[in-house]
Amino acid sequence: MLFSSVTFLYAFLPVVLILYFIAPKKLKNPVLLISSLFFYYFGERTYTIILFVSSISDWVWSILIEKYRGKKRTKIFLALSILINLGLLGFFKYADFFIGNINALLGTQIPLTNVPLPIGISFFTFQTMSYTIDVYRGNAKAQTNLVSFATFVCLFPQLIAGPIVRYTDIAQELDNRKHTFENVSKGLRRFTLGLGKKVLLANAMGEMCKDLLALDERSVLMYWLYAIAFALQIYLDFSAYSDMAIGLGRIFGFKFPENFNYPFVSKSITEFWRRWHMTLGSWFRDYVYFPLGGSRTTTLKWLRNILVVWMITGFWHGAEWNFVLWGLYFGILLMAEKLYFGKILNKCGVVVQHVYVIFTVLISFVIFSVEKLSDIGTFVGGLFGVGAQALSTTNVLYLLDSYAVLLVLCVVASLPFPKKLYQRFGETKTGQKLYTVLEPLTVGIVLVVCTAFLVDGSFNPFLYFRF
């Protein structure tokens, strides 16, 4: 069930909100848990059982780890937790990838499993795995209440596409959270503005990508416009979902971690990855990079650690070679910055730094977007005129003219200055008075306009569902 769907907005969410807020405190978690399971069951009827397996498995292992803390058997419990989580993820997401590559390499004919990918499995397996690791490390106390723990795992605002919420982020709020009118108000505002970002902007960039690819002509301008539109689409799409998730979480009394911080204003790739999908980056840092030794080791091992982390980061996004190459691409850039290029970059002006980041990021998302490995050469080469039929064509210019205003709006929405202007004006007496009226009015207008687009059956994909 998409957040940006009429079913969610006008059937599921209102019913859940009513049931949740009329329920007494001791029943709020059960209401959320049942609602979340129904939410998942609505889109994944066959695989809802995986949520049960993941929840009960890590709940049991964490209790055993805490009970036998200090004894050797705790390592076995931790290993079993990790193996079960990675086993589920590996079978459903990567089995056919490995079988296909073995068949291609050895000429064998091992049949593919053809099992569908459970929605959100990359997110909730990482959440449960980090919980067990934190209990083993002593960073979290094992949750003995299965309903409370299952609520954490299955919580529908962040279940399908994050942000990756760790147990330690909301441990206190699971059993003791406050519900205020301010939280509900701010949560609804954050959710609705995220909805507008998704339906009105991200979807428009998705339409632009589709229209560009539908053209018969392949020009340099077409490839660059596609790179720009896709980069804007994936940022607006995913950050919008994070906004909606964070907003919903706040309505229910949870404070989820931020996931994006205007990454396109970065002055280096290192900074870009501190601002992009921050919960995933911190997860790999704490549970893969640091255990490997991080930077506190020899230079060769340090570089190895970076490459391993970024290869896994790419592979996490999808069971295709282009995702692995995408991860290694960023790993190589980060190694270059940390070794010597970063020092050169720091001496350059801000304009050069921004151009460097935008240029390298656009190329990265071209690699990310292709469906076939062979298309990488075609699309990346096309950016530089290799294989392109012309610099531009009449049809491409027509599409550029048609989407020009939306492109500008999407670029503006990807930058922090509108938010800063909004906050500064809100600090004035005039702003405070106007916002009292304008904020709810704006939220209402955005909701009505988005609803009109959704009822009309407009283009409404969500890119990260496949991960």
Tokens of 176: 């003791």
Residue of 207, 232, 200 lying closest to 445 (CA atoms): 200
Helix 13-22 with 25-43: angle, nearest 10 deg: 160
Give the 3-state secondary structure of residue 219: strand
pTM of the model: 0.92
pLDDT tens-digit map of 141-185: 999 999 999 999 999 998 887 799 999 999 999 988 888 999 999
How far apart are alpha carbons 288 and 275 in whole angstroms? Answer: 19
CB 32 within 8 A of CB 13: no
Task: Return the pLDDT at 356.
Answer: 95
Is the bond preceding 461 in cis, omega lying within 30 degrees of 0?
no
What's at 52, amino acid-wise? Answer: F
Q: How many whole angstroms from its chain centre is CA 427?
A: 32
- DSSP structural state of residue 337: I
Q: Which residues pair with 219 in a beta bridge?
A: 390
Q: Other C-beta atoms within 10 Å of 426: how many? A: 13
In 185-243, the DSSP E strands lie at none
Residue of 298, 318, 300, 296 lying closest to 308 (CA atoms): 300
How far apart are alpha carbons 283 and 8 in whole angstroms? Answer: 29
CB 273 within 8 A of CB 330: yes
- Catalytic residue at 317? yes
The active-site residue, picked from 179, 277, 317, 354, is 317
How far apart are alpha carbons 155 and 34 in whole angstroms? Answer: 10
pLDDT in tens, the chain (467 residues): 788 888 999 999 999 999 999 999 999 999 999 999 999 888 777 788 888 888 899 999 999 999 998 888 999 999 999 999 999 999 999 999 999 999 988 888 899 988 888 888 888 899 999 999 999 999 999 999 999 999 999 999 988 877 999 999 999 999 888 889 999 999 999 999 999 999 999 999 999 999 999 988 888 999 999 999 999 999 999 999 999 999 999 999 999 999 999 999 999 999 999 999 999 999 999 999 999 998 888 889 999 999 999 999 999 998 899 999 999 999 999 999 998 888 888 888 899 999 999 999 999 999 999 888 888 988 999 899 888 788 988 899 999 999 999 999 999 999 999 888 888 888 888 888 888 888 889 889 999 999 998 887 666 666 655 55
How far apart are alpha carbons 135 and 360 in whole angstroms? Answer: 39
